[in-house]
Amino acid sequence: MAERVLAEVAEGVAALRAAGVTPSLATVLVGDDDASAGYIRIKQRQAAELGFASPHVHLPASASQADLHAVLADFNADAGVHGVLVQHPIPGHLDYDRALQVLDPDKDVDGMHPVNMGRLALGLPGPLPCTPAGIEALLAYHGVPVASREVVVLGRGATLGRPLAMLLAQKRATANAAVTVVHTGVADWPRYTRRAEILVAAAGVPGIVRPEHVRPGAVVVGGGVRYEGRRLLPDVDESCARVAGAITPRVGGVGPTTVAMLFRNALRAARGRS
Ligand SMILES: NC(=O)c1ccc[n+]([C@@H]2O[C@H](COP(=O)([O-])OP(=O)(O)OC[C@H]3O[C@@H](n4cnc5c(N)ncnc54)[C@H](OP(=O)(O)O)[C@@H]3O)[C@@H](O)[C@H]2O)c1
């Protein structure tokens, strides 16, 4: 699915270039975290392969909040920059959420700006949060019916559980679900996950979803992960594959679809301004 979306993005970028517009996705890295630098390099390489220009700013770990805001203000003011990506996490003395609020919502390719969350809540057009949008697209691509089915999302976090619940409850052919959200405030959450026709793990607690939490034949989507160093520990225990009707793979699950949605948002931002 991710490959198909990226191929469509490449075509869209080529069409804009042919019309004299060079789509541009700017990236910002703060500090010297090896993993973050690696992720930014991968996204820049992918941006170049898809035909995006990708101006990059690397701020030192000692950068102030005002330094970061100044970089974002420059990109906001630059009509040649259509999307901006701030790699997170950023150093602990900086406030990511505050920086995000400085960014022009129309250039927010992560879809996480409060204005974009508001647009999602109201059903207005705007960049969608990438991981939730990727999950909706993934279900649609694999022909998993969502409309009128019971979806249970384990986790109400701002990047995944909460926006996904809003998205899948929207009035649209690939959504229209009966969505239930469970979290630490619901002590007996397995009562809900066991009746889910589609179960999405979005907790960030390795191995929290086990076969006894899954309704036999259910579709299980593993979104939550925790990194220990470079080791990726998913929420969904691999043994769930024995019970599930369909399940996202441990590696290559919602990560690639998230990245595909990021570039789709960047293309749409470029189209919106051209
Ligand atoms: N694969 C990707 O590309 C990708 C992208 C984005 C996010 N993620 C992953 O998605 C996960 C969620 O991220 P997020 O930022 O949306 O969420 P978050 O802010 O980390 O919140 C986690 C949620 O899970 C719930 N939770 C945690 N432990 C629980 C437990 N033992 N029982 C029941 N509920 C529990 C929490 O409940 P409370 O609200 O009650 O605390 C909270 O709602 C993370 O693992 C993140 O790494 C993956």
| Domains in the chain with CATH codes | 16-106 (3.40.50.10860), 130-256 (3.40.50.720)
Ligand 1 atom having least distance to the Cα of 156: 43
What atom in ligand 1 is closest to the CA of residue 205? 28
**Is pLDDT of 159 > 50?**
yes
Give percent above pLDDT 70 in the chain.
Answer: 99
The answer, as to whether pTM is greater than 0.85, is yes
At residue 274, the pLDDT reads: 40
Backbone φ, ψ for residue 217 (5° rounding): 90, -5
Q: In sequence order, what DSSP letters do the residues of 128-162 get, joined into one string?
A: PPHHHHHHHHHHHHTT---TTSEEEEE---TTTHH
For residue 181, pLDDT over 60 is answered with: yes
Ligand 1 is surrounded, with C-beta below 6 A, by 131, 154-161, 183-185, 189, 202-205, 208, 223-226, 254-255, 258
**What's the rounded mean pLDDT across residues 12-20?**
98
What pLDDT is stored for residue 251 in this prediction? Answer: 75
* pLDDT value for 252: 73
Q: Is the dihedral of CA 117, 120, 126, 127 positive or negative?
A: positive
**pLDDT digit string, tens, across residues 73-106:** 999 999 999 999 999 889 999 999 999 999 999 9
- Asked if the bond preceding 89 is cis, omega within 30° of 0, the reply is yes
The overall average pLDDT reported for the chain is 96
Q: How far is the centre of ligand 1, averaged over its atoms, from the C-alpha of 91 (Å)?
A: 21
Name the residue type at position 238: E
**What per-residue confidence (pLDDT) applies to 238?**
95
